[in-house]
Each structure stands twice: as C-alpha cells, then as structure tokens.
Chain A
Amino acid sequence: MNNREKMYKILSDVLGIDINAIDGSTGLENVESWDSFNVILLVSEFEQAFNIKFTMPEVECFKSVKDITDVLKKRNVEFLD
C-alpha cells in the first residue's frame, strides 16, 4: 500500500465512506461524519500509521482531505502524485 492508499483507507474506515469517492475536496463541507470527534480519531490513526505527531495548529485546519495531504507532505510523507 502506498501512502495515499494508506491514508484513504483510514479516511474510509473512520468516516464510513466509500474509498473510491474520496478525493482532495472530500471534507467538512460534503461529509456528514466529518465531526470533531472523528477528526481527532483521524489524527490519532494518521499519527499511528505515519509515525508522526501533528501540532495543534496543523490539526485545527483539517477541513478537507487536501488540507491533511498538505500537512503530511510538509511532514515529509511522500505522495507519488
């Protein structure tokens, strides 16, 4: 599994959404289960999966998949695309 697949798998698991329907725009605006507890859960699972610790300011702007990808990239998690 590459990092994007890993990330989408977690998103799909935690939010209970179809993995094929996930793209950068997936987020608070269009996913009902994107609530504050699930964001915390996503943070915990990503930290576990990528062996990093996010900062609070980073987490505060997790409003879409793109936001999360941007932070992960800054943290040197490599995405092929």
Chain B
Amino acid sequence: MAMKTFNEYLKEYKALVKQGSPGAGHKKIKVALAASFNVSGFKEVLYVQCRQQRIAADIYVAAYAQYNQEILDRSSGLYRHQPDVIILFVDTASHLGDYLFNASERSDRQRRNFVSGKRAGLESLIEALEKNTRATIIVHNFEVPAYSPLGILENKQPFGMKESIEDLNRQLAGKYKKDPRVYVYDFAAKAGRIGQQDILDHKMYYMGDIKVDLQLISSITADYLAYIRPMLGASRKCLVLDLDNTLWGGVVGEEGIEGIRLGPTPEGRSYWEFQKYILSLFKQGVILAINSKNTEKTVLQVLKEHPHMVLKEEHFAAMQINWENKVTNMKAIAAELNIGLDSLVFMDDDTFNREVMARELPEVHVVDMPDDPALYLKTVQELDVFSVLQITREDKGKSRMYAQNRQRQQFEKQSADIDQYLEGLRMNVTFFEPSALTIPRMSQLTLKTNQWNMTTRRYQENDIAAMAADDAWQIRAMQVEDKFGDNGIIGLIIVKKQGRVWRIDTCLMSCRVIGRRLEEVLVGSMINLAKKAGVEEMVGEFIPSGKNGPAMDVFRQLGFKQDNGMWIYPVQQGFSMPGIIKVRQ
C-alpha cells in the first residue's frame, strides 16, 4: 500500500467533515495538541487516521506558538475542550533556542544549569496539565542534533551539547516512568528512524515555521494512535498466522518437514527470527492462532519435531488447520476464543488471501506483508496494534490462559453434563479491594471488556483510585483459579452506595470465563455484602453498546426484576451462592 500524500489526507478530511458526524459504533475521544511550532495539518491527518479505525476524534489545537499560555491559563481553549488526551510537542530548537548555536561557548556547568532549567520548565507545564485535567498526557522528548560546531571533539567534552540533550531525555523518561498519566513519546528515536535529514525541510521551516515535513506528519500521528487505541479499549488481542511461507519457507505438504526453511541458515534465519519475535509478543500477552490450508497431522509433526520451530502447540490458543477457506476459519477462531473479529490481526504471505480477508472481514486488521521474507521481522516489529498502556500480570499470562482453555474445552467434552464439568473444574474465587497492585488491572478490565459488560463505562487508573478513596464507592475485583491454572483477575464490580440503595455502576467479566456461574458469585457476594450493611435495594443497569449482547439477560437470570428500565433486587432476601465455587474473601 502506497502511503497517502499529505494532500490526500486533507482531501479525505474535507470529505469526512462534509459527510457529517460519524455513525454509532464509533468510539469517541477528545484530543488536544499543544505545540511550539506551526502544526497545521496534524489535526486533519490524525482525524482521518482515527476514523479509519472507527474512532471519532474531536481534536483541539492550541493557538500557534501559545502552548505555554494555554497550559498556564486555566480558562484557555485547551481546558475548555476537556481533552481525554493531551499531546505536548515542543521541539528542540524552540525549547533550547540559541543554545544550539552557542552551547560550545559555555562551560560544562553552564550547560548543565541551562538544560536542567529548561527541563524544569517543561516539567512544570506537565504538572499544570496533570493538575488541571484528567487527561492522559503524551510528551515528545527532544530530537538530538546530529551536528556540533565542535565536530569530532563534541563528545570529548565532559558534558557536551548533544550529551546535555540526551541527558534531558533520560531525565524526562525517568521522572515519568511510574506516572500512569504521562507517557514520554520517544521522538528522538522516531527522528532517527526517519532520518534527521528528512524530518525537517529547512525551506518549510524558514517559510512557515513548519518543523515536520508535511509528508511525514502521518507517520507521527500514527504513533499517537498507539496511545489512543488502548485508552479506548480498541487494541488488538490476537495474532492469526498462516504457516507455509509465513512461519517457515516453503510448503511443508510438498517439501516435507526436512524441506522447509527454518533455523540458523541464510534461507531459514528470517523465518526463525520472525518466530522469535512473535514468541516475545506471546509472552507480553498477545494471543496466537493458526489459520492455514494444510493437513493437520503434517503441521502437528512440524510443531512437535522440527528442531528450530520456536512456536509450539502450547502457544496457540486456536488452530484452524484444514482445507476450508480462510474467512470461515477466521470466524471460527473468533468464535472459539470468544473475542470479536476486531480483536484479530492476520499475517499471511499470500496477497490473494489477504485481499479476500480484508474484503470479507473488514474488522480484521490485515497486515500488509512484504514480498521479501527478509522484511518479515521488521514488519512484525513495526506492528503497533497490540499496544497497551500498562502491562499487568494478567496480560503476561493471558495468552497462556487461552491456550489452557483449549484443555478446558477438551475436559468439557469428556464431562457428562455442565454441572459435572463445572464441579470438576474445582473453581476458587478470591476477591480483591483496590490497591496499587490491583488498580491497573481494574482499569484495564473496564477499558478492554466489551461483551460481558453491563454498562461499558471506561475508567483510567486515576478514576479508579479516586473512587477507591471515596467511601461512597465499593469496588471488588474477582480472581479465579481452577484445576488447569490461574485465570487471574477476570471480574469487576463497582457499586455506588446511596443510603438504602446501592447502584451497580460497573459489572463486567472477561469473556473467557463466561458460562461458569461466576456471575452469581460476582453479583451475589455484593448483594450479601449489602444485606449486612442493611441496604434494601440493589439496582442494576444494562446499557446496550452494540457489543454487549451476551450480557443482556444476566440481571434477569440472577433474579433482578425489571422496573422502569432498571433492574432491582430486594437485598434483604439474600442471594444463595452456587455451592460448586469456593469463595475466599
């Protein structure tokens, strides 16, 4: 796919704006961009890229070169916009000014003082943004100049100009490492990847104070999406892989297990390293699946016996290996894993397969694979669709849990009926209150759970922390273990206490544990807690989101009665918990 030119983005933007507001099913986000130079065009390109991913972005751009004033003035347009995410792009030349020309005339100490003063200046702006908004803040770090008037002697100085800027970047990264609201965007590395010669067109800079070549804006705004997607729970979860000429070179059905190219040889290394990188994604929680036209027996032999096969049976949560068409297989994978098609990413070397997939299942993210297998590794490394804002213990184990689920399903087939199966699972539930350890996971569940989610209210970590500090809220997370392993924290209930009435603000469960009567434990134990507190009514609410159909009937099944669009449970009658699940408080 050829990159769109800047003007094509502008045209598309105009066309989209003309069409009017995007339909339902679009996720909404308010973005504010504050920059130290002329960022004309950023808004339009970012808007178009968001729309391509079914995100309706409402984007505010701070007045040209007035980022300081807008951030410090609490009545500015930036704050009136009430952004969910703020991007702060201060470029090196604007921030350090003539220092870039006269740094070498200064002493080491002067350089140190100057740069640390500049760092404090930026940090105080970030502090103001943190204080005055609830937004997630993305801050560009600083491009390090590739030149120096000292030439080759630059790094012979104890604290040279380049080193001072690198140090500034290091300090910034260090300061916000533990701050869940501030992300430092590594613009220095981005500039390096693009090439510093190209990122700035000097003529455009002198003519219009434009510091990013117009044709490169789309590459930078695409990086912003890696932050925006997980905020909206729109990250992808599962990587679906073809086999022949994707995970190894050659066609195993024809060339046999000895004939395929895979391993530390010139022909095999690209596939081998491609697999190694995919394994590292698995370890960060990306679910893996196979969608391949092949004979299952042959493939299983490769998975088990090939000495350089990095990915093995235990890493795959679903395997569709047959002679069906790949679209049918893709739907089967989504159904088997109980995740949406919009959670899937597809990698296949065959252009035709990719085109059919993109046409038939537009929700699936089809990766534009290069013809040359030497570029496979680079392609998967550049995939940013799995990005999450925080990695929790559950993430790291998630892909393994999905693979364990295949075993659970086999166990289910062997069991006589559902109750015998559930009993045989020997489930143990533990409840957790909000704490530094559990809040990231709680937030993440609200951001990522779509199907079994009564209200689909999305909460960032600081939202949960604020509720946890307020006595009017009761928050409990549910962890489940069974005979096959630990499922981690997979349920969350948030209740607003209003005297004799408690309202269920949020009630959700990860889809992989649906159908195990765990909802009875999640909601029932809250009802029993309310009973002890002398509460009369528990009020439940179901807000249709287009995706939470599976949760529609839950309140009725739990014994709630519908009343004026809400669901009511008379708390004092108590809730009898399912005996087959053990609960530890």
Instruction: Give A contacts to B, CB under 8 Å.
Output: 10, 13-14, 36-37, 40-41, 43-45, 48, 54-56, 59-60
Contacts and interface: CB of A to CB of B under 8 A. Distances in A.
A37 B208 contact: yes
Nearest to B40: A37
Given A37-B40, A40-B214, A45 B206 contact: no
B207 A36 contact: yes
A55 B10 CA distance: 25
Nearest to B7: A45
B170 interface: no
A40 B210 contact: yes
Contacts of A56: 202-203, 206-207
Contact of A14 (B7, B202, B204, B213): B7
Contacts of A40: 204, 207-208, 210, 214
Interface string B283-319: 0000000000000000000000000000000000000
A5 B532 CA distance: 80
A41 B201 CA distance: 12
A60 B207 CA distance: 8
B102 interface: no
B11 interface: yes
Contacts of A60: 207
Nearest to A44: B214
B69 interface: no
Nearest to B203: A56
Nearest to A45: B7
Interface of B: 5-7, 10-11, 40, 201-204, 206-208, 210, 213-215
B206 A41 contact: no
A43 B455 CA distance: 50
A13 B11 contact: yes
User: Taking each of A45, A59, A60, which has the highest tally of chain B beta carbons within 10 Å of its own beta carbon?
Assistant: A45
Contacts, number: 41
Contacts of A48: 5, 215
B471 to A, nearest CB: 54
B65 to A, nearest CB: 15
B207 A44 contact: no
A66 to B, nearest CB: 20
A44 B212 CA distance: 12
B11 A59 contact: no
A42 B7 CA distance: 9
B215 A54 contact: no
Contact of B215 (A13, A37, A44): A44
A10 B7 CA distance: 9
28 contacts: A10-B7, A13-B11, A14-B10, A36-B207, A37-B40, A37-B208, A40-B204, A40-B207, A40-B208, A40-B210, A40-B214, A41-B10, A41-B214, A43-B204, A44-B7, A44-B201, A44-B204, A44-B213, A44-B215, A45-B5, A45-B7, A48-B5, A48-B215, A54-B203, A56-B203, A56-B207, A59-B203, A59-B207
B208 to A, nearest CB: 5
Nearest to B11: A13
A36 B203 CA distance: 13
A55 to B, nearest CB: 7
Contacts of B7: 10, 13-14, 41, 44-45
B203 A41 contact: no
Q: Which 8 A-B pairs have the closest CB atoms?
A: A44-B214, A56-B203, A40-B208, A45-B7, A37-B40, A48-B5, A40-B204, A14-B7
B379 to A, nearest CB: 24
Nearest to B208: A40
A55 B11 CA distance: 26
A10 B207 CA distance: 20
Contacts of B202: 56
Nearest to B210: A40
Contacts of A43: 203-204
Contacts of B207: 36, 40, 56, 59-60
Contacts of A54: 203
Given A41-B214, A60-B207, 8 more contacts: A13-B7, A14-B10, A37-B40, A40-B204, A43-B204, A44-B213, A56-B203, A59-B207
A39 B10 CA distance: 14
A14 B320 CA distance: 49
A36 B40 CA distance: 12
User: Taking each of B6, B11, B203, B206, which has the highest tally of chain A beta carbons within 10 Å of its own beta carbon?
Assistant: B203
Nearest to A60: B207
B203 to A, nearest CB: 5
Contacts of B213: 44
Contacts of A13: 7, 11
A36 B214 CA distance: 14
Nearest to B8: A13
A60 B40 CA distance: 20
Contacts of B204: 40, 43-44
Nearest to A56: B203
A48 B229 CA distance: 31
A36 B208 contact: yes
Contacts of A36: 207-208
B6 A41 contact: yes
Nearest to B207: A40
B219 to A, nearest CB: 14
A43 B213 CA distance: 11
A44 B203 contact: no
A54 B201 CA distance: 11
Contacts of B201: 44
Contacts of A45: 5-7
A39 B491 CA distance: 56
Contacts of B10: 14, 41
Nearest to A37: B40
Nearest to A57: B203
A45 B5 CA distance: 8
A56 B207 CA distance: 8
A44 B10 CA distance: 13
